[in-house]
Structure 1
């Protein structure tokens, strides 16, 4: 469910082309920026679509470490530093800021791909999953839409995470009653009301559902393959 969209911030044009073309060969989509302010503007608007950032430190008009901090303020996204600064002081500072990896130039593009694969695997093996625009923290039972946390009621949260535990499977209204705090409330209208509230909060539309699809006569199915 994780996407493979890379934000590459690098002002060396030749290296831009080399890296972006190489990543495409390994099925990564790569958006490239030379100017840090333009990259920051793009990330502010579309941060939810990126899975990882490759960041050069020697950028015009803004130091790479300053840009690193601004990116992390917008979203806690994995960042690999790609730089000619190979001294130990910069490496330590990069890791102290929260860099997931630090590659000193020059390096083989294949090494970068392997580092990206390894970094994303660590994130994919965590308790967070991404379904379209939704970021779901399974451990803390939190849901984010474009990095804004959704405030569910207790019942809504129970129903939502029941859906997530049964992705692409049909869940009956009876199952919802038996496995949530609804308990003995078997009124279909009550269940439908809670599901309708969930749909509204995750920006779903019952008429053209992206996530929660009604299954006539039975219940619902939460889909992740739109």
Structure 2
């Protein structure tokens, strides 16, 4: 199933922020600014959606009414957003069929964590996940969490090496933002003066015998991030 998310929120800055942040984390995002636009998008993409995010307060309706409509037509997971601290809103949303509830203000990172948790529970992120990733003679085994070289010898990896390499081989050819890579491996964004990710990249290059001065596997894209340039083959066996 695709990782396509439909978000309705009447605040343009919020919509833009969430779309940018989630797309950096490899989600496809559709946006709506009110209930009418949401229902049009939902009608169009209902069979493709993996998650719906509903703001409770909207100019032409409310998230509760939209939640009812969605639940009559689909079992897609729903997260509700509200500026109210009233517990009643949370209870009503959950009773109407919402899967989770986040009170404003919230961080995009918190929302991403909730999205990932729901996708894990529903099997979206785990369905048909390949076990092996093969590239330039290396084989990464995601079950054993080991890396073998072309001679079948184990390449020593730290836990962070493994997380970083796994994310790279899952997204070959994509320019990956430093903040995305930092969050995937360390659970937090990389600050402007934080060089720990760059140090980790250098260490991983050494493990892969990738020349740090002229790397062929993990290339630096100035001002944008990093890209894993190897051809990667994924397989279940």
Count of equivalent residues: 128
CA-based RMSD of the aligned residues comes to 2.0
Partner of 1:91: 90
Structure 2: gaps spanning 5 or more residues: 129-237
Residues 44 and 74, structure 1, Cα contact 8 Å, conserved in 2: no
Partner of 2:57: 58
Residues 23 and 29, structure 2, Cα contact 8 Å, conserved in 1: yes
Structure 1 residue ranges (4+ consecutive) displaced by more than 2 angstroms after TM superposition:
none
Q: What are the superposed Cα offsets for residues 160-196 of structure 1, whole Å, 9 maximum, x if unpaired?
A: xxxxxxxxxxxxxxxxxxxxxxxxxxxxxxxxxxxxx
Partner of 1:48: 47
Looking at structure 1, the residues matched to 97 and 74 of structure 2 have their Cα atoms a distance apart, in angstroms, of 12
The equivalences for 1:1-40 within 5 A come to 2-40=1-39
Looking at structure 2, the residues matched to 5 and 17 of structure 1 have their Cα atoms a distance apart, in angstroms, of 16
Looking at structure 2, the residues matched to 109 and 48 of structure 1 have their Cα atoms a distance apart, in angstroms, of 25
- SS at 1:82 equivalent: strand
TM-score (norm 1): 0.54
2:110 is the alignment partner of 1:121: no
Looking at structure 1, the residues matched to 85 and 19 of structure 2 have their Cα atoms a distance apart, in angstroms, of 22
Q: What are the superposed Cα offsets for residues 76-132 of structure 1, whole Å, 9 maximum, x if unpaired?
A: 11000011122111111111112111000001100100100001111117xxx79xx
Looking at structure 2, the residues matched to 85 and 74 of structure 1 have their Cα atoms a distance apart, in angstroms, of 27
Partner of 2:81: 82
Structure 1: gaps spanning 5 or more residues: 131-226
Partner of 1:153: none
- SS at 2:46 equivalent: helix
- SS at 1:122 equivalent: helix
Residues 23 and 113, structure 1, Cα contact 8 Å, conserved in 2: yes
TM-score (norm 2): 0.51
